Chains A and B, each alone.
Chain A
Amino acid sequence: MKKIKVIIIRTAGTNCDYELKSAFELCGATVDRVHINELISSKSKILSYDILAVPGGFSYGDDIASGKILSNEIKYKLGDNVKKFALSGKPIIGICNGFQILVKMGLLPKPENFEQISTLSYNDSNKFECRWVHLKTEKKVNDRTLCLWTRELPDVISLPVAHGEGKFVADKKILDEIEKNNQVVFRYCDKNGKDTVYPQDPNGSLNAIAGICNKKGNVFGLMPHPERYIYALQHPSREGYDGVYGWGKKIFQNAIDYLK
């Protein structure tokens, strides 16, 4: 059986890399945590991996704007290797700060253009929010999700969020296009999957968007943290599947199964 190779890009201020590594390893992958400086010194190294993951944290302290500096480093110092990676259909995931980075380098929502056309802005509450939220998994494409990362999930799952800049914002035109293409993967909702308000919607995102993917469904970005819910034990009331696992694990499993 083929060993799947995952690369986790990290830099000063990256935080969630160890739990993300554990999540992929639990699903049978081999994982390298690679510092951006090392990638810059060998630009094509990245293409030798099967899955690319950008973890959460405060890359470079989120100075200027969340994720901005690292997204520029990846975009302008790694040549078009990241774009190649995305268009080749290999799975890419950006979580929290990683989502901010994918959006700000323009890998989401449209990797073809590779230009920033949306952003993640300050929470409406104007403060950092750490809590578990409910998420509605969109299944509009003949009852399946477009996104390869979120297949066979329940209609509503819960994951923890922890961010100060998680409000998804885009022009109406772009927003409508994302909706039309079914690129919305997760929306904040109440426990029955219905529309909700603060605090269950922690940031006031347009259309309650918590996560999106590209048209192909291989590039996925989300504010909540699936890597913090790979075991049922991590859930506030210890819910999960198969007795021990948390629904976050399924997300990483999907990417690995997809490649097998």
Chain B
Amino acid sequence: MKVNTIEILNLNDKQLVELSRKSVLSLSLVEMKEVQKYFRNIKRNPTDVELETIAQTWSEHCKHKTLTGNIEYTEEKGGKKKVTKYKNLLKETIFNATMKLNKDWCISVFKDNAGVIDFDKTNGVAFKVETHNHPSALEPYGGSATGIGGVIRDILGVGLGAKPLANTDVFCFGLPDTKASEVPEGMHHPKRIAKGVVSGVRDYGNRMGIPTVNGGVFFDKGYMANPLVYCGTMGIIPKNKSEKEVKPGDLVLVVGGRTGRDGIHGATFSSVELDKESDVSAVQIGNPIVEKKVLDTMLKARDLNLYRAVTDCGAGGLSSAAGELGEKTGLVIDLQTVPLKYKGLAPWEIWISEAQERMVFAVPPKNKNKILNLFKKENVEATFIGKFTNDGKLLLKYGKEIVADMEMSFLHGGVPKPTRKAVWKQKQIKKQSPIKVSSKTLQEDIKKVLADINVCSRDWIIRQYDHEVQGQTVVKPLQGSSIENSGPQDAAVIWPYTVVKGTKKGVVLSNGINPEYGKVDTYKMTASSIEEAMRNAVCVGANPEKISLLDNFCWGNPNKPEILGSLVRAAQAAYDLSLGYSVPFISGKDSLYNEYTIDGKTYSIPPAFLVSSMSVIEDVNKTVTMDLKNAGNSIYLIGVTKNELGASVYSKIKNFKNGIVPDLDVNISKKTMKTIFNAINDGLLESCHDCSEGGVITAISEMAFAGDKGVSINADAIKTSEKMTIAETLFSESNTRFLVEVSPENVAKFEKLFKGVSVSKIGEVSDDKFLKLESKKSKISVKENIKNLQKAWQKTLQW
């Protein structure tokens, strides 16, 4: 196999940039010059293997250069300018908050393939959420399938390997009713992308036997060319298996799928904008059954202590997997011994291919045969390809020939830190002019909001996923009083009784995302998303002081100061809220350059900050669902409703130009959520649901048709911060609001417990199947059959 030497020593700046572009290295001029300097020092040109290795290792995708780089941030408020300098945005914000909080129940944060926290004395639970945006844009089915396949391997590759218990998925798509003529050249139609992505997650997740239990979908024209695909996996791991350590002399074992030409340059191409030339061969090809076999066998090898370290082959393939494991020691590998799908791969292709379902292990020589036999018994391919050394070098051979010989220190430490400018200018926001509605329009508006593409039922997606496999999903993504009725459950609860015999504990998974708010202010978006994720968890019984969070930034091109500015705002919000709530971020991921260029015109996505939450609860029997339970029970609204219709679903439907985006008071929020936790813990709540998109009237409608019960609501009893019209009151999306159902015998205890928290009784559960809404103040009277509300909610997304 031929290895090429690449001329770099004598290239000028222009030629360096050209070389980076034409071989999809995605390296900047500064970086190319650093590479040139290194090879000038050792007085030779690099081989293609070496150059590709550097490109993978230094890629935005692998190194997160922007969030860990230098940023000069200028904030402009009311004519005043304030400049803040970051040496490492991530370390100084999100990571810093986690360090300051220093929770004793955090086992492993921001260092491994996933974050790990305490489950019980002997076990931890690990959670990771990945993005697979660029591949899903080019090849929706394969992109999302390998997205979920990849994040499952993150869980297999955390510590010495965790057992996956649940998957989550959150998508952002373009509008499904987009005219074909409006779809940019070279892109798929949003509806095709949506269908492909859902099928990909379904076929991979279902075949892996991991339930997909929580997620969300957000539709906006801004994601037409750049869909966002977030895939998450949660797993359980014995605490004494949560660390890995490579020792010199350990053997490098590659296990699972064979290496092919699929996924070449995946890491580097996802570190630049897409255009119509973007190469589909960068997308990997998945095979879930191969990964399932690896899962079945490697956990056995783990429990027999047959290896010392493991990680997954993700972005950058072997180059990053083996590279990471050998970073501290050094590494020698013979690329000729790597099993291939077919002949004809050049050494550099073997080394960086992102072919799927591959894990890399560090195996002590004495266990060589034991571990091979274990894999062989269940037809899993396992091959020794090299050895960890102690010379700190990356030495790659192809048979006898040496094809790469570099210092690990240069490879992992040599990337120059970029310095970027970021700016943010405060916008002047006005309230919308007061909204007058009649009972008749209000009745129609309620159904319009329920039917909105960003509110309506996701059952078409959810029911294609096996969300009950493993038998541990005790709070399900759709909940209802009987099999016939269902509503959107705020969070899922996994009860890992098959793994931890006799346990009562459970794991709560939830998420929060709302890019609509980010169009106005990414700080408020991030704050609201964090609270939404926490509200969702608290609704089922999670302790707000024991919640752990994951951050996922999906942004545009960070070289544009306004875009980077909005990202800095989000990071600051995450820092403030993490400290404010005293809840740590335990892991995260960023995906930048979500842009699409055509005819010189660039489409950038609306910034999206996904917050995923994981928390452990003491007793799954105490968990509460969102569906109304019994006639005669009282319905209370907890929290104050403010005039905050900015970027709301209602103002989108009504085309309001103005409106205040929901604000957040952490101290009130903290106290409120803690009290709800206590109420659920004391068994005082029959049902609980948070108010988010669509406001209080949407939430109460969902609770009613999910429980197949009627409700009578007195709108005048809803506490507002100022004089507000009925439409503003019902559709405002103010934070820190919950609807709870309390049975007569608990009313006294409940009201006592909630002293000092804003709460008002707004209605009652009834046996007739009607939503009855009254407001004497606004002379409003609405009566609607809950079946019609459920129909409105269910009809929109039925493909």
- In the bound complex, do residue B468 and residue A35 qualify as a contact, i.e. CB atoms below 8 Å apart? no
**Complex CA–CA separation, A95 to B206 (angstroms):** 16
Most-contacted residue by chain B among A38, A61, A200 (CB, 10 A): A61
In this complex, how many residues of chain A approach chain B with their Cβ under 8 Å: the count is: 40
- In the bound complex, do residue B468 and residue A225 qualify as a contact, i.e. CB atoms below 8 Å apart? yes
- In the bound complex, do residue B378 and residue A35 qualify as a contact, i.e. CB atoms below 8 Å apart? yes
Say whether A129 faces chain B, with CB atoms less than 8 Å apart: yes
- B455-507 contacts to A (CB < 8 Å): 462-474, 476, 479-484, 495, 497-499
**Complex CA–CA separation, A38 to B376 (angstroms):** 12
A128 to chain B, nearest CB (A): 5
**Complex CA–CA separation, A43 to B465 (angstroms):** 36
Give the contact stretch, choosing among B178-186, B239-247, B285-293, B315-323.
B285-293
Say whether A57 faces chain B, with CB atoms less than 8 Å apart: yes
The residue of chain A having its C-beta at the shortest distance from the C-beta of B474 within the complex is A233
A residues less than 8 Å from B483 (CB atoms): 131-134, 158, 191, 200, 236
- In the bound complex, do residue B378 and residue A22 qualify as a contact, i.e. CB atoms below 8 Å apart? no
The residue of chain B having its C-beta at the shortest distance from the C-beta of A190 within the complex is B484
**Complex CA–CA separation, A105 to B683 (angstroms):** 51
Contact with B along A158-172 (1 / 0, CB 8 A): 101010000000000
| B378 interface neighbour in A12, A134, A227, A230, Cβ under 8 Å | A12
Say whether B719 faces chain A, with CB atoms less than 8 Å apart: no
B residues less than 8 Å from A128 (CB atoms): 202, 206, 463-466
- In the bound complex, do residue B468 and residue A160 qualify as a contact, i.e. CB atoms below 8 Å apart? yes
**Complex CA–CA separation, A16 to B379 (angstroms):** 20
**Complex CA–CA separation, A19 to B470 (angstroms):** 6
- B215-259 contacts to A (CB < 8 Å): none
Contact with A along B277-289 (1 / 0, CB 8 A): 0000000000111
Say whether B207 faces chain A, with CB atoms less than 8 Å apart: yes
- In the bound complex, do residue A61 and residue B484 qualify as a contact, i.e. CB atoms below 8 Å apart? no
B123 to chain A, nearest CB (A): 15
- B280-328 contacts to A (CB < 8 Å): 287-289, 292-293, 296
* Chain A residues touching B, majority SS: mixed
Known contacts being A130-B463, A191-B483, A200-B483, is A61 close to B288, with CB within 8 Å? yes
| A228 interface neighbour in B208, B471, B480, Cβ under 8 Å | B471
Say whether B35 faces chain A, with CB atoms less than 8 Å apart: no
A residues less than 8 Å from B207 (CB atoms): 13, 58, 61
B255 to chain A, nearest CB (A): 14
Most-contacted residue by chain A among B470, B471, B472 (CB, 10 A): B471
Say whether A60 faces chain B, with CB atoms less than 8 Å apart: yes
B residues less than 8 Å from A118 (CB atoms): none
- A77-132 contacts to B (CB < 8 Å): 127-132
| B292 interface neighbour in A12, A38, A200, A237, Cβ under 8 Å | A12
Known contacts being A158-B483, A200-B483, A233-B495, is A227 close to B471, with CB within 8 Å? yes
- A200-253 contacts to B (CB < 8 Å): 200, 225, 227-231, 233-234, 236-237
B261 to chain A, nearest CB (A): 22
| A16 interface neighbour in B467, B469, B621, Cβ under 8 Å | B469
Say whether A30 faces chain B, with CB atoms less than 8 Å apart: no
- In the bound complex, do residue A13 and residue B292 qualify as a contact, i.e. CB atoms below 8 Å apart? yes
**Complex CA–CA separation, A12 to B288 (angstroms):** 10
A residues less than 8 Å from B499 (CB atoms): 18
**Complex CA–CA separation, A103 to B103 (angstroms):** 54
Most-contacted residue by chain B among A35, A56, A61, A233 (CB, 10 A): A233
B residues less than 8 Å from A254 (CB atoms): none
- In the bound complex, do residue B377 and residue A37 qualify as a contact, i.e. CB atoms below 8 Å apart? yes
- In the bound complex, do residue A12 and residue B293 qualify as a contact, i.e. CB atoms below 8 Å apart? yes
B residues less than 8 Å from A58 (CB atoms): 206-207, 209, 288-289
B residues less than 8 Å from A35 (CB atoms): 377-378
**Complex CA–CA separation, A207 to B484 (angstroms):** 21
A122 to chain B, nearest CB (A): 14
Contact with A along B599-633 (1 / 0, CB 8 A): 00000000000000000000011000000000000
In this complex, how many residues of chain B approach chain A with their Cβ under 8 Å: the count is: 40
Most-contacted residue by chain B among A14, A15, A16 (CB, 10 A): A15
- In the bound complex, do residue A233 and residue B620 qualify as a contact, i.e. CB atoms below 8 Å apart? yes
A residues less than 8 Å from B463 (CB atoms): 128-131
The residue of chain B having its C-beta at the shortest distance from the C-beta of A11 within the complex is B378
**Complex CA–CA separation, A128 to B471 (angstroms):** 18
A157 to chain B, nearest CB (A): 11
Most-contacted residue by chain A among B202, B293, B466 (CB, 10 A): B466
Contact with B along A1-26 (1 / 0, CB 8 A): 00000000000111110110110000
A residues less than 8 Å from B466 (CB atoms): 128, 130, 162
Known contacts being A13-B207, A128-B464, is A19 close to B377, with CB within 8 Å? no
- In the bound complex, do residue A16 and residue B209 qualify as a contact, i.e. CB atoms below 8 Å apart? yes
- In the bound complex, do residue B378 and residue A130 qualify as a contact, i.e. CB atoms below 8 Å apart? no
- In the bound complex, do residue B289 and residue A12 qualify as a contact, i.e. CB atoms below 8 Å apart? yes
A residues less than 8 Å from B287 (CB atoms): 61
B residues less than 8 Å from A12 (CB atoms): 289, 292-293, 296, 378-379
**Complex CA–CA separation, A236 to B296 (angstroms):** 30
- In the bound complex, do residue A15 and residue B498 qualify as a contact, i.e. CB atoms below 8 Å apart? no
**Complex CA–CA separation, A131 to B460 (angstroms):** 12
- B685-724 contacts to A (CB < 8 Å): none
A168 to chain B, nearest CB (A): 20
B230 to chain A, nearest CB (A): 21
- In the bound complex, do residue B484 and residue A191 qualify as a contact, i.e. CB atoms below 8 Å apart? yes
- In the bound complex, do residue B468 and residue A233 qualify as a contact, i.e. CB atoms below 8 Å apart? no
- In the bound complex, do residue B209 and residue A57 qualify as a contact, i.e. CB atoms below 8 Å apart? yes
**Complex CA–CA separation, A255 to B12 (angstroms):** 79
- In the bound complex, do residue B289 and residue A19 qualify as a contact, i.e. CB atoms below 8 Å apart? no
- B649-679 contacts to A (CB < 8 Å): none
- In the bound complex, do residue B288 and residue A130 qualify as a contact, i.e. CB atoms below 8 Å apart? no
- In the bound complex, do residue B379 and residue A37 qualify as a contact, i.e. CB atoms below 8 Å apart? yes
The residue of chain A having its C-beta at the shortest distance from the C-beta of B799 within the complex is A127
**Complex CA–CA separation, A198 to B378 (angstroms):** 39
B residues less than 8 Å from A229 (CB atoms): 471
B residues less than 8 Å from A234 (CB atoms): 468, 471, 473-474
- In the bound complex, do residue B289 and residue A236 qualify as a contact, i.e. CB atoms below 8 Å apart? no
The residue of chain B having its C-beta at the shortest distance from the C-beta of A20 within the complex is B471
- In the bound complex, do residue B498 and residue A18 qualify as a contact, i.e. CB atoms below 8 Å apart? yes
B441 to chain A, nearest CB (A): 33
- In the bound complex, do residue B471 and residue A130 qualify as a contact, i.e. CB atoms below 8 Å apart? no
**Complex CA–CA separation, A37 to B639 (angstroms):** 60
A166 to chain B, nearest CB (A): 13
B residues less than 8 Å from A15 (CB atoms): 208-209, 292, 469-470
B234 to chain A, nearest CB (A): 16
Known contacts being A58-B207, A191-B482, is A22 close to B471, with CB within 8 Å? yes
| A162 interface neighbour in B208, B289, B378, B468, Cβ under 8 Å | B468
- In the bound complex, do residue B469 and residue A162 qualify as a contact, i.e. CB atoms below 8 Å apart? yes
A residues less than 8 Å from B209 (CB atoms): 14-16, 57-58
- In the bound complex, do residue B289 and residue A60 qualify as a contact, i.e. CB atoms below 8 Å apart? yes
A residues less than 8 Å from B468 (CB atoms): 130, 160, 162, 225, 228, 234
B residues less than 8 Å from A200 (CB atoms): 483-484
A residues less than 8 Å from B470 (CB atoms): 15-16, 18-19
- A126-178 contacts to B (CB < 8 Å): 127-134, 158, 160, 162
B284 to chain A, nearest CB (A): 17
A49 to chain B, nearest CB (A): 20
- In the bound complex, do residue B289 and residue A13 qualify as a contact, i.e. CB atoms below 8 Å apart? yes
B477 to chain A, nearest CB (A): 10
**Complex CA–CA separation, A228 to B497 (angstroms):** 12
Most-contacted residue by chain B among A21, A134, A237 (CB, 10 A): A237
A residues less than 8 Å from B471 (CB atoms): 16, 19, 22, 225, 227-230, 234
**Complex CA–CA separation, A193 to B221 (angstroms):** 47
A residues less than 8 Å from B296 (CB atoms): 12
5 residue pairs of the A-B complex, CB under 8 angstroms, read A16-B470, A37-B379, A61-B288, A133-B483, A227-B471
Given A131-B463, A236-B483: 7 more A-B contacts, CB < 8 Å: A37-B378, A57-B209, A61-B287, A129-B463, A225-B471, A233-B495, A236-B476
Q: Which 4 A-B pairs have the closest CB atoms?
A: A15-B209, A19-B471, A228-B471, A162-B466
